[in-house]
């Protein structure tokens, strides 16, 4: 229930009470919101009283008589609008001329209603104002939420970028102080750690650029008919070296050609992120299967591994930005926490979806579905 504050400003007392009565039991509903509206109504008979009450109650809607004993309604209107309040003003006028209505609207009134009017007329006019108010509030709430999410993202990002800098700085000052003596070879572990942290930082920045490019929509998508299997092969080629170091085999299972209308770069990012995850979170000498299938207007991509897997709870958090599963098994694995969020964002561009099946210590299977109706036979 949303309570809207209404102030009726009219020197005719019977008019004030008639309006109060008409709105007291009125509980309209605004379409597409769950909000039911009720009104709390106050009245003022003079301009002086009106200003005092406006100050005090900060009304959402003002019903304002065109003529008051101590000031004209238009002057009050100008004063209210000057204060940049979000309050909507409905002018009540006895002179049902177009001229007065126009001057009221020009001065910033939301609407006008001509005396005499029925309770039904009044409700109709008030309802329009209510719709306007609720809509404006929803837009504001949404903007505010977006802003908060953005701030949170930037704040986490700041920490993610600061952490490797702290680590590198720590090592460099130890080296500068010659904490392990004069022999350079004593410092190899420290230098190696610095390089690892720099590499992690670079990956984070690359992921971040991917993510902002997708989100901003500024990068021109270069859609064309591409062979998805080709793209997968390129990705496997990219990651093969890393995999072979740990005896992990990547197996591509697909027909030779599966065409889809897509942006080549986007699909490559999907494969790179999923396959490198499947390698990173695998056991030594494990396997990674990459499967691509086309069926009924969709391209199904599946990347399965024999890795450490994860619990149902962890699976739920997986596609959020900066989510990394922290446990004994993942503590030595570096990642930006953005990879899967990026995969999800790209899948969204294709009206598709991402899902995961996983069992701890057995492995994980990621499925990406991309919608593409152009290549159906």
Interacting residues toward another protein by CB under 8 A: 159, 166-167, 170-171, 174, 179-180, 189-190, 193, 197, 326-328, 331-332
Sorted by sequence, the CB contacts under 8 Å of residue 52 that are 6+ apart come out as 44
Q: Tell which residue, 186, 162, 163, has the closest CA to residue 174.
A: 186
Q: Which CB sits closer to another protein, 145 or 189? A: 189
Q: Which CB sits closer to another protein, 193 or 293? A: 193
Q: Tell which residue, 286, 192, 182, has the closest CA to residue 243.
A: 286
Q: Which CB sits closer to another protein, 197 or 345? A: 197
Contact between residue 8 and residue 19 where contact means Cβ atoms under 8 Å apart: yes
| DSSP, residue by residue, 74-116 | HHHHHHHHHTT---EEEEEESS--HHHHHHHHHTT-SEEEESS
CA distance 68 to 48: 10
Quote the least distance from Cβ 147 to another protein, whole Å.
17
Per-residue tokens: 324: 């990394």
Quote the least distance from Cβ 179 to another protein, whole Å.
5
Q: Which CB sits closer to another protein, 179 or 223? A: 179
Task: Return the biggest CA–CA distance within the chain.
Answer: 98
Quote the least distance from Cβ 170 to another protein, whole Å.
4
Quote the least distance from Cβ 356 to another protein, whole Å.
21
Q: Which CB sits closer to another protein, 166 or 253? A: 166
Contact between residue 44 and residue 9 where contact means Cβ atoms under 8 Å apart: yes
Quote the least distance from Cβ 362 to another protein, whole Å.
20
Question: Which H or E run contains 41?
Answer: strand 37-44
Q: Which CB sits closer to another protein, 192 or 255? A: 192
Quote the least distance from Cβ 171 to another protein, whole Å.
7
């Amino acid at each position: 229930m949303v309570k809207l504050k209404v102030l009726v400003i009219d020197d005719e007392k019977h008019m004030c009470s008639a309006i109060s009565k008409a709105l007291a039991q009125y509980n309209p509903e605004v379409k597409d919101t769950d909000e039911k509206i009720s009104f709390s109504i106050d009245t003022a008979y003079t301009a002086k009283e009106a200003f005092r009450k406006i100050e005090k109650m900060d009304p959402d809607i003002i019903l304002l008589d065109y003529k008051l004993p101590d000031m004209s309604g238009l002057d009050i209107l100008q004063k209210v609008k000057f204060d940049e309040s979000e309050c909507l003003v409905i002018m009540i006028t006895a002179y049902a001329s177009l001229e007065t209505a126009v001057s009221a609207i020009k001065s910033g009134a939301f609407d006008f209603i001509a005396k005499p009017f029925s309770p039904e007329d009044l409700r109709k006019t008030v309802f329009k104002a209510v719709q306007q108010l609720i809509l404006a509030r929803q837009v504001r709430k949404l903007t505010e939420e977006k802003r908060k999410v953005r701030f949170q993202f930037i704040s986490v990002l700041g920490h993610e970028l600061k952490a490797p800098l702290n680590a590198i700085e720590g090592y460099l000052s130890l080296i500068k102080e010659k904490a392990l003596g004069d022999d350079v070879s004593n410092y190899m572990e420290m230098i190696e750690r610095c390089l690892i942290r720099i590499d992690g930082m670079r990956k984070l920045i690359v992921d971040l650029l991917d993510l902002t490019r997708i989100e901003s929509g500024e990068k021109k998508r270069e859609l064309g008919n591409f062979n998805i299997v080709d793209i997968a092969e390129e990705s496997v080629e990219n990651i093969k070296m890393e995999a072979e170091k740990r005896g992990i085999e990547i197996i591509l299972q697909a027909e030779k050609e599966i065409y889809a209308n897509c942006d080549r770069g986007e699909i490559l990012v999907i494969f790179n992120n999923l396959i490198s995850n499947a390698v990173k979170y695998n056991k030594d000498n494990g396997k990674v299967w990459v499967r691509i299938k086309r069926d009924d207007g969709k391209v199904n991509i599946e990347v399965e591994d024999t890795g450490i897997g994860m619990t149902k709870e962890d699976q739920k958090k997986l596609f959020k930005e900066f989510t990394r599963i922290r446990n004994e098994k993942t503590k030595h694995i570096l990642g930006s926490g953005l990879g899967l969020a990026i995969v999800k964002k790209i899948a969204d561009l294709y009206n598709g979806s991402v899902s995961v099946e996983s069992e701890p210590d057995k492995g994980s299977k990621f499925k990406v579905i991309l919608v593409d109706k152009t290549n159906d036979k």
